[in-house]
Structure 1
Amino acid sequence: MSLPTILLEAQSGQVSGAPGSFLGVVLYFGVLFAIMWFILIRPQRKRQKAIDEMQSSVSVGDWVMTSGGIFGKVVDTVNDICIVEFGLNRGTRIPVQRDQIAAIKEPDLTVKKYDEDVEEEETEEDEEE
């Protein structure tokens, strides 16, 4: 539209555009918000709720992994702080906030060995060089 046409419509009180276009825009944004809610926001809230439940269920004697990846055993809880015992000698006790506990799980301390085939291939490559 040119400037004179816009000025003439403004003087005459006519509004260009299809009737009901405002309702269409509102409906369009409403549908977009609903889609975003079900794809992004709702699953995140479910995950956060599960994490909150896990952190609130921490009790004395549980093996936990902190958000830094350090494993320890809970020896005491005071309000929102857990006293966690770290290390194999059980002498290091550090207070950790409950919301910094990433998981309740025991560390896997088993020694894993390579397959014999992989070791043989590595030794053959070393001999060839």
Structure 2
Amino acid sequence: MGILLTEADAAAGAGGAGLISMLIMYAVVIGAMWFFLMRPQSKEKKRVAAMLASLAVGDVVLTTSGFYGVVIDMKDDMVIVEFGSNKNCRIPMEKSAISRVEKAGEN
């Protein structure tokens, strides 16, 4: 009877070690997923937020719909963008609709 108990205890101990190694593997996989998927997304959000924070009147912007325009007025979350050369096409839009900013003094 003593032999059976020691074999059962050894099997239980091996199962616990397998569980720990499986948890470590899950942690490694989750860490890799965060590093390759979530981290770049958060860096992109920070880049876009910094770009929109540096937006100023006179900057040339590219909207998400593909139109180039010049910022002529700004409010909290809205900008008024002038499209074309006739100075009559002024459209208010949200800042989140801007995908790229080119500063007025840069090429």
How big is the alpha-carbon RMSD for the aligned residues of Structure 1 and Structure 2?
2.1
SS of match in other structure, 1:64 = strand
Give the drift of 1:45: 1.0
CA distance in 1, matches of 2:50, 2:93: 17
SS of match in other structure, 1:18 = helix
Q: Please identify which structure carries the higher strand content.
A: 2
Q: 1:117 maps to which residue? A: none
Give the drift of 1:19: 2.7
**Larger RCO: 1 or 2 (CA < 8 Å, sep 6+):** 2
CA distance in 1, matches of 2:87, 2:43: 36
Give the drift of 1:80: 0.3
Q: Residue 39 of structure 1 is aligned with which of 32, 36, 40? A: 36
CA distance in 2, matches of 1:38, 1:104: 28
CA distance in 2, matches of 1:33, 1:18: 23
Asked whether 1:56 is paired with 2:53, we answer: yes
Give the drift of 1:21: 2.0
Give the drift of 1:68: 0.5
* TM-score, scaled to structure 2: 0.78
Give the drift of 1:39: 1.3
* TM-score, scaled to structure 1: 0.66
Identity of aligned residues (%): 35
Give the drift of 1:37: 1.3
CA distance in 1, matches of 2:49, 2:63: 14
Deviations 1:52-76 (A, max 9, x none): 1101211101000000010100000
Amino acid at match of 1:66: T
Greater gyration radius: 1
SS of match in other structure, 2:16 = coil
User: Structure 2 stretches of 5 or more lacking a match?
Assistant: 1-10
